[in-house]
Structure 1
């Protein structure tokens, strides 16, 4: 198992270019199953979760041609559906939550799909009810073997229907959308997720021949087509990585320029960091974070303590609350962090408290951060990365701490961040990877 040894206290300076978006990649890679024609994807991130999913598709029979620099060609003309019932598939697919999004394309094109109960970050319950309720309304039947933890889906005929989703699940919307694009008739998805990455999936499907309107809203209308063709698609930059770099710059008093950010798609990310008092300067499509000795949390108009919470798009993404929390440690002032969507995502704060942070865990969903205003540096310590986002939050804390910290279980960080140690070392960090 690999670890990071991080010598903290260095100010960083330079430019960082965000990788391709992980959450978009997991959707669009699954979408290649919808057509036997070639699909070319640009700006795919070279990270564990995406590479694992590509390997899974390759074992399913997809022809994969890696051209380098984030460009991969996929041709799904000879799919081995028998592989879906093999023990090897059950083991591999169960270890990656993103694999759940192969169900929609398989059901749409082949009228059957199989899937083990997926894995992923241990951040609380993540039910799949939205997916299966959608599949059922479109005409599929499913069964679940609780002992084997295995789902079976079949559909002789898929027909468009009006669907009011019980929650605006991103992966649920993606799965239902990919099922509906070749269902007979019209499908309406109301209370659909409308995150930028979901918008990107819609645009990719349209370029393949799908008929979708309402892109960017929570009301999608799909006219089913009989087949889809190939396409070329370029992924957005990873907005979670952009937010992580903003928090990193503030905590380490660094001067960092983040390149090619797609500012028009960032939503509330820049403004939420500004609420912590961080200077976020937009320069064209770049973000410049100057070195700040101090930053002060903005109180509410009536002087009360602010709350930063997650919400479906266009609200603030839950994937950045861990970064907001760690960044607030060295701020002046107090903020309440409210993680609404997952009930185990804040438990990593015990590691931060060991480092000297002043944080009160109110309940599994809420934590109050009392900023220490750089009155002292965090202490170096040894810790383990519990999930992708908390792992990078701990890395940011370690880079700002005094002394040498150790983070184990860093495969969790590698699942979502491409060559993070090399890229940060290139602008002045001191991170050593040890096996």
Structure 2
């Protein structure tokens, strides 16, 4: 197990390029299973979760060719379906949350899809019901082995239908869309997720020959087609990483430029950081954060009441950035209530920030009130453990702003979502090293 050793309290300076989007990659990579033709994907992030999925696709029989550091070609013309029922697959699939999204494409093209109960972050209960209810609506039969936690769906053919999703699940919508594009007839999905990464998936599928309309809304209409062909696709920059670097700049009073952020796809992210008092400037397609030498002040609502930052389905604020918001607020002027609606365990890392001197009241598993220090009391270095990807990067940002030298254990969680993070942070002046 590796650790990060971080000497905090240093100003950073320079520019940083966001990686390709992790959450888009997990959808797009599974979509290569829908066609026997070659699919080329660019701007793939070099992170643990994505690399695990690429390895899993290779074991499934997909021909994988690395074209450059971030570009691959995939060709699923000789799939080994026996691997799906092997002990090796049951082990491989458990270690990756995104593995659930191979089920829709496999069901659509081969009439069956299996998956062990996926792993991933320990941030709370993450239901799979939306995925499988969608497959059942399309005509699949569902089975579940409770002893092995093994899910399966099978169908001689899938038939288009109308469905109202019980929640606007991003991965659930993606999985159902990938199943429906090869179904017979028309599928209508209401309460569909409409995140930019799902829009990217739908646009890619349309280039492959699918007929999807309503992209960007919560009502998708899919006319089934017989086959799909190959295509090329370039992934968006990772909006969660972009938000992370905004928070890093503010907490370390650093001047940073975040390059090529795809402003049109950032939604509420710049506005929410501005509500915390952070200056977020648009320079072409870059974000420039000036050094906040005088700190930053949280806005109140127009009636003077305390600001609440909460998550919501797109175009609301992404839950993956609430951990960053919470850390950034610890050094603001003023107070904020952070309301994490989706996951009941994601705020439990605040005890580590309290150990560092932050003023945080954990109201319940979903809400925390942060009383900012206004940099009058610097966070203190400590030893901590990363519980999940987003809490991990939040603790790393806290450590980079803290007085003294901190260590973070279980950094494999951070590696799951952030590529080459030590080298990239060192390039802008961070005092961080990876130790075994």
Cα separation, 1, equivalents of 2:304 and 2:164: 40
The equivalences for 1:200-279 within 5 A come to 200-279=200-279
Q: Paired residue for 2:169?
A: 169
The equivalences for 1:28-177 within 5 A come to 28-177=28-177
The answer to whether structure 1 residue 301 and structure 2 residue 302 are counterparts is yes
Cα separation, 1, equivalents of 2:75 and 2:145: 32
Q: CA deviation at 1:68?
A: 1.4
Q: CA deviation at 1:152?
A: 1.6
Cα separation, 1, equivalents of 2:131 and 2:259: 36
The answer to whether structure 1 residue 8 and structure 2 residue 18 are counterparts is no
Normalising by structure 1, we get a TM-score of: 1.00
Q: Paired residue for 1:418?
A: 419
1:277-329 deviations in Å (ceiling 9; x for gaps): 00000111000000002100001101110100000000000000000000000
Where does structure 2 lack aligned partners over 5 or more consecutive residues? none
Cα separation, 2, equivalents of 1:412 and 1:237: 20
The answer to whether structure 1 residue 434 and structure 2 residue 432 are counterparts is no
Aligned residue pairs total 435
1:88-123 deviations in Å (ceiling 9; x for gaps): 000010110100000000000000011101111011
Cα separation, 2, equivalents of 1:334 and 1:60: 51
Q: CA deviation at 1:421?
A: 1.1
Q: Paired residue for 2:189?
A: 189
Cα separation, 2, equivalents of 1:284 and 1:186: 41
1:377-411 deviations in Å (ceiling 9; x for gaps): 10000000000000000000000000000001000
The answer to whether structure 1 residue 329 and structure 2 residue 330 are counterparts is yes
1:176-229 deviations in Å (ceiling 9; x for gaps): 000000000000000000000000000010010000000000000000000000
| SS at 2:18 equivalent | coil
Cα separation, 1, equivalents of 2:209 and 2:173: 19
Normalising by structure 2, we get a TM-score of: 0.99
Q: CA deviation at 1:266?
A: 0.4
1:15-48 deviations in Å (ceiling 9; x for gaps): 0010000000000000000000000000000000
1:319-346 deviations in Å (ceiling 9; x for gaps): 0000000000000000000000000000
Q: CA deviation at 1:126?
A: 0.4
| SS at 1:386 equivalent | coil
| SS at 2:296 equivalent | coil
RMSD (Å), alpha carbons: 0.4
Cα separation, 1, equivalents of 2:150 and 2:377: 51
Q: Paired residue for 1:357?
A: 358
Q: Paired residue for 1:379?
A: 380
Cα separation, 1, equivalents of 2:145 and 2:71: 38
Q: CA deviation at 1:69?
A: 2.8
Q: Paired residue for 2:346?
A: 345
